[in-house]
Structure 1
Amino acid sequence: MSELGSFIDGKWSRGGGGSIPVWNPATGTQLAELPLVAADDLEQALAAADAAFPSWRATSALRREEILRTAAGLVRERSESIAAAIARELGKPLREARVEVRTACEHIEWAAGEGRRAYGRVIPGREPGVHASTRIEPLGPIAAFAPWNAPLITPARKIAGALAAGCTVVLKPAEETPTAACELVRAFDEAGTPPGVLNVVFGEPADVGARLIGSPLTKGATFTGSTAVGKQLLAQAAPTVTVTTMELGGYAPVFVLPDADPEAVADTAVTAAMRNSGQVCTSPTRFYVHADLHDRFVARFAERADALRLGDPFDDATDMGPVATPRRLAAMAELTADARDHVVAGGYQEDRPGWFWRPTLLADLGDDARAATVEPFGPMALTTAYTDLDAALRSANRLGLGLAAYVWSSALTAIDHVTTGLEAGAIAVNSWQVSLAETPFGGVGESGVGYEGGTEGLRAFQRVKFVSLRSGS
């Protein structure tokens, strides 16, 4: 593993805030010590980002694109070692970690090109000699917060969008999975990012979040994580009216309509639901299956889930690794105990070193069960048999969350009805893909504010200035 630490104003630092252990969830053993920042370190990072902003803003979009593409190239060259770090610290199977590295590079490369297309527009004047236009400008220093479940993709998406837009960044990655973010920042540094443009700090999350968002130097904030923490950060951003982008909880519903093939859907659903041990904000989790198909779907899903091989993330035979922390084990145990009579697959911790939970299916669960109201964020799925489609839609929308959703059918009228009725920022029909580098990704309701990815991802870090010019004296 590379040496861990914070990166402030172009220099690596061990900070002054002590250290915490980094764990291997597949073995339960310690991997490293992660040094943390103190309050003075945070102030230095904020000051560095603020001081570097004017010159980075003035840097041509072409030059910024060069730096971003070079950084992406360096990450691609080091993809195997970065993927291995993700597998060690997160427990994600190595083949999934390799996909994460490739996807992160795609996000950087997309933002690099999109940064050259920050076009304003000309607006016809109302009288001769009046020239009206808009300009697209960067917000300023950005505070970015990334979670542990996608330790390279999420920091890459935030850094790339902000830097391409002309902003500087102070990034706080997750302390549980620090190496990927450190390697990403190292690649940007070697690619030619000037000192102060990109800073990374590790520390006590609540203290770091409050200071970064509460600082008058911070002009924008981007956060990916739980709805509860997102609400806290939004409240902290209010006194300074800091522009925020929030990608929060998901708990994605899936609709399997009467004309779908329940076995075929179940075959792919298990893989999608248990990817990264279910620790994905877009994981298909709440399956609304028509009553005529429900039992067949449950039987095949349970069969496939029971067949998944848990083990070492570096073993090619492994289908699913551990959950990331003991907290996730406790959450799985609590939700399963509350719905014990509905367990048809898994539902227990494996008796082995590390933090392994068997893929769990809770069948025909009512809305009053705890697992039907709390996002598991682990290897768990649940089903509901429905006959009244509109009632099922009301159930799916009742939580106030709306990040991703899925529909399986070939009936165009029914697909239109469901995609119109679902409250979600992204919906995939007959696939499990809801987020790409070139597409906007964001939630509605308590799943977030704003977008990442696509053109919208850069707009999150930009503002519009209107200029009216009257010619002559």
Structure 2
Amino acid sequence: MNKTYGADLALLINGSWKIGEGRDSFAVIDPASGDAIGAVPLASAADLDEALAAAELGFAKWRATPAEARGALLRKAAALLRERTEQIARLLTLEQGKPIAEARGEVAGSAQLFDWCAEEATRIYGRTLVRPTGQRSMVNRQPVGPVAIFTPWNFPVYLLAKKLAAALATGCSVIAKPPEETPGCTGALVRCLTDAGLPDGVVQLVHGVPDTVSRHLIASPVIRKVSFTGSVPVGRHLMRLAADGLKRVTMELGGHAPVLVFGDCDLEKTLDMVVPQKFRNAGQVCVSPTRFFVQEGIYDRFIEGFAARTRGVTTGHGLDSGSAMGPLANVRRPGAIEALVDDAAAKGARVMAGGRRGTSGFFFEPTLLADVPDTADIMNNEPFGPVAVAASFADLDDALGKANRLPYGLAAFAFTENLRTANILGDAIEAGMVGINTFAISSADAPFGGVKDSGFGSEGGIEGMDSYLVTKAIHMA
């Protein structure tokens, strides 16, 4: 075990932090070395029942808390996040692997989410309908109730904060089940809320076997909404579980983002943008640019420039300031990426850079594949790793056909200096978010979500808060 890890790994139930005490545990691994650095306790069935009871009582008192007070607490939690940035970022890098600079940015973005939702807590407006004298009809927005939230390991702090901030601002209580791979940084985030004065029972933090925990929580009548970020198959599974209780669901599922690069773009500027973005967090980003479709006239120059820049991406432990890319998050990922690369090469793709797994830890080289056919597995299944795949297109219709071919529709990107082309792309690309000459598509005040197999519902913006609210009409005569 790494004695410098230092995280107090525990469950939080009804205001009480619970450690081992005979519970089963899950080993926490440093993905850069493959070594165990700690162990997190897993919730028992009794723990989950206690968490459900606490969430029900916590909801009763939190929904009655004035919006101004809820907002003030979220702002205090944001301030604590900023004060503790180095501690939380270090935990995040040790557990997940991303470079420390990216980890700091994730913590900063999480604080911004709390601040933004704190302000919106006071703007949950209803309306009064026009009625004859002596009659009143009002429309109110009220919190949906206790919420079960499930978050992944690629942005463990930010994605947990995104769900917590909206749920708490609207008056909901929460049972949060973050990933077992990253318990220290997620626990540190929740500690900012408790240290800010969050009442007991408003947030519970549990770890456990994902299917066991999700089945137990979603089956309970206490839970009124489920929010999940993760893979398409798991999203479908959770929706089936939620259907039995007619529970509201928000699903932010997988993507396989296309990038359309037109011949009129500023090629060097575009390359300088797309390569760092592709290898951010080792490509383990649901909106990572992955399928690069490049207009025929600039295709060869694009591939050459992309390959040269890819070879210059330095990999190493995330705590090393010289590392531009860290390892993949767990032992399963290098083998999965290697299989996709080998399949593409066997089907005619050219390996222009990288293509090999590391000799220690869970590393895989930054990789570019050119001339990738539609029949390659990696053209049809999200790699969720540091691999860019490229092919050419002839014209706008061809580009749109390639972009919209798959059942995914989370994010898409395009680079062009032609306004008419940009307008058409914004309308015609089938995705919940489209970035044109930018990758900045995720912010606290904007909705984040997909279409088709990439899920439904939004997180972020006022749209993200709507899903935690129910609408009630009150008529008086």
Aligning the two structures, in what range does the TM-score lie when normalised by the shorter sequence? over 0.9
- 1:61 lines up with 2:67 in the alignment: yes
**Structure 2 residue identity aligned to 1:402:** G
Q: Secondary structure at the match of 1:133?
A: strand
In the alignment, which residue of structure 2 is the partner of 1:180? Answer: 185
Show the 5 A alignment for 1:102-251. 102-125=108-131, 127-251=132-256
In the alignment, which residue of structure 2 is the partner of 1:423? Answer: 430
In the alignment, which residue of structure 1 is the partner of 2:451? Answer: 444
Per-residue CA distance 1:333-389 (angstroms, 9 max, x = gap): 1100101242111100123x2111001111121211100000000001111100032
- Equivalenced residue count is 468
- 1:31 lines up with 2:37 in the alignment: yes
Q: Give the 4+ runs in structure 1 shifted more than 3 A.
A: none
Q: Secondary structure at the match of 2:406?
A: coil
Show the 5 A alignment for 1:47-446. 47-125=53-131, 127-340=132-345, 341-351=349-359, 353-446=360-453
In the alignment, which residue of structure 2 is the partner of 1:2? Answer: 7
Which moved further from structure 2: 88-97 or 341-350?
Answer: 341-350
Per-residue CA distance 1:18-57 (angstroms, 9 max, x = gap): 0010000111111101110111111110110011111110
- Report if the CA contact (8 A) 1:115-1:458 is conserved: no
Q: Secondary structure at the match of 1:339?
A: helix
Per-residue CA distance 1:204-238 (angstroms, 9 max, x = gap): 00110111122111001111001110010001000
- Report if the CA contact (8 A) 1:146-1:172 is conserved: yes
- Report if the CA contact (8 A) 2:357-2:363 is conserved: yes
From 465, 468, 476, give the equivalent of 1:469.
476
Q: Secondary structure at the match of 1:102?
A: helix
- 1:457 lines up with 2:474 in the alignment: no
Please report the TM-score for the alignment, with normalisation by the length of structure 1.
0.97
1:14 Cα offset (Å): 2.6
Give the Cα–Cα distance (whole angstroms) in 1 for the partners of residues 402 and 374 of structure 2. Answer: 7
Q: Secondary structure at the match of 2:156?
A: coil
Please report the TM-score for the alignment, with normalisation by the length of structure 2.
0.96
Which moved further from structure 2: 128-137 or 184-193?
Answer: 128-137
**Structure 1 residue identity aligned to 2:459:** E
Q: Secondary structure at the match of 2:52?
A: helix
Where do 5+ consecutive residues of structure 2 fail to align? 1-5
1:12 Cα offset (Å): 0.6
Give the Cα–Cα distance (whole angstroms) in 2 for the partners of residues 327 and 388 of structure 1. Answer: 39
Percent identity of paired positions between Structure 1 and Structure 2: 44
Q: Secondary structure at the match of 2:378?
A: helix
- Report if the CA contact (8 A) 1:367-1:395 is conserved: no
Give the Cα–Cα distance (whole angstroms) in 2 for the partners of residues 40 and 111 of structure 1. Answer: 33
**Structure 2 residue identity aligned to 1:427:** V
Give the Cα–Cα distance (whole angstroms) in 2 for the partners of residues 300 and 177 of structure 1. Answer: 36
**Structure 2 residue identity aligned to 1:144:** I
**Structure 1 residue identity aligned to 2:456:** V
Where do 5+ consecutive residues of structure 1 fail to align? none
- Report if the CA contact (8 A) 1:87-1:314 is conserved: yes
Per-residue CA distance 1:130-186 (angstroms, 9 max, x = gap): 322210000000000010000100111111100100000000000011111101111
